[in-house]
């Protein structure tokens, strides 16, 4: 059921928020950020964030990567499109990419409290199932 105006026909759609995430890898390690804001404040996850108006998902992925970690990268492939319910935002559509060729100076910035590389096989059980699914697919595609 949606709210709508019987006079003009306007329909109020409650669409999910659109976001992106980067499974960014280098030398068998994955780049993780410690979330500095809700949802999941204090938890480790891949760099991620919302798509801004006028951006493509690919542009948003690389922007979020750089904003949160100080690194640039190259998108290798689409890992998947997932839905996740975030108690702060409601339903979120998350487009996850595999990213490599990481360059720059690693530093936590924007809404990341910390940032680090960890062995890809040590990165398990993220608080958001979409990140777990994307990591599993990235590992399969990388032959790990």
Residue 8: pLDDT band (50, 70, 90) is very high
| Average pLDDT score over residue span 106-122 | 93
6 within some domain:
no
Percent of residues, the chain, with pLDDT higher than 90 = 70
7 within some domain:
no
Residue 46 confidence (pLDDT) above 90:
yes
11 within some domain:
no
The tokens of 13 are what? 């759609």
Expressed as residue numbers, the domain containing 29 is: 16-141
117 within some domain:
yes
pLDDT at 36: 86
The tokens of 42 are what? 């204090």
- How far apart (Å, rounded) are the C-alpha atoms in residues 96 and 58? 9
44 within some domain:
yes
DSSP the chain: --EE-TTT--EE--PPEEEEEEEEEETTEEEEEEE-SSSSTT-EE-SEEEPPTT--HHHHHHHHHHHHHSEEEEEEEEEEEEEEEETTTEEEEEEEEEEEEEEE-----TTEEEEEEEEGGG----SSHHHHHHHHHHHHHTT-
51 within some domain:
yes
pLDDT at 37: 85
Percent of residues, the chain, with pLDDT higher than 70 = 100
What CATH number is associated with residue 119? 3.90.79.10
Residue 111 confidence (pLDDT) above 90:
no
Residue 89 confidence (pLDDT) above 90:
no
Mean pLDDT of the chain: 93
Residue 124 confidence (pLDDT) above 90:
no
Residue 60's closest CA among 69, 68, 70, 49?
A: 49
**In the block, residue with structure tokens 């608080």:** 127
9 within some domain:
no
Residue 73: pLDDT band (50, 70, 90) is very high
| Average pLDDT score over residue span 127-142 | 92
Between β-strands 71-86 and 90-104, what pairing exists: parallel, antiparallel or unpaired? Answer: antiparallel
137 within some domain:
yes
Q: Cα 30 from chain centroid? A: 13
Domain count, the chain: 1
């Amino acid at each position: 059921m949606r709210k709508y105006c019987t006079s003009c026909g306007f329909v109020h759609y409650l669409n999910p928020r659109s976001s992106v995430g980067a499974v960014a890898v280098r030398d068998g390690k994955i780049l993780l950020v410690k979330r500095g804001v809700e949802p999941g404040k204090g938890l480790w996850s891949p760099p991620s964030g919302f798509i801004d108006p006028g951006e493509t998902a690919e542009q948003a992925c690389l922007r979020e990567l750089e904003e949160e970690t100080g690194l640039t990268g190259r998108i290798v492939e689409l890992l998947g499109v997932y839905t996740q319910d975030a108690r702060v935002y409601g339903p979120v559509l998350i487009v996850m990419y595999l990213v490599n060729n990481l360059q720059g100076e690693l530093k936590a910035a924007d809404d990341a409290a910390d940032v680090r590389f960890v062995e890809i096989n040590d990165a398990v059980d993220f608080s958001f199932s979409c990140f777990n699914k994307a990591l599993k697919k990235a590992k399969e595609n990388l032959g790990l």
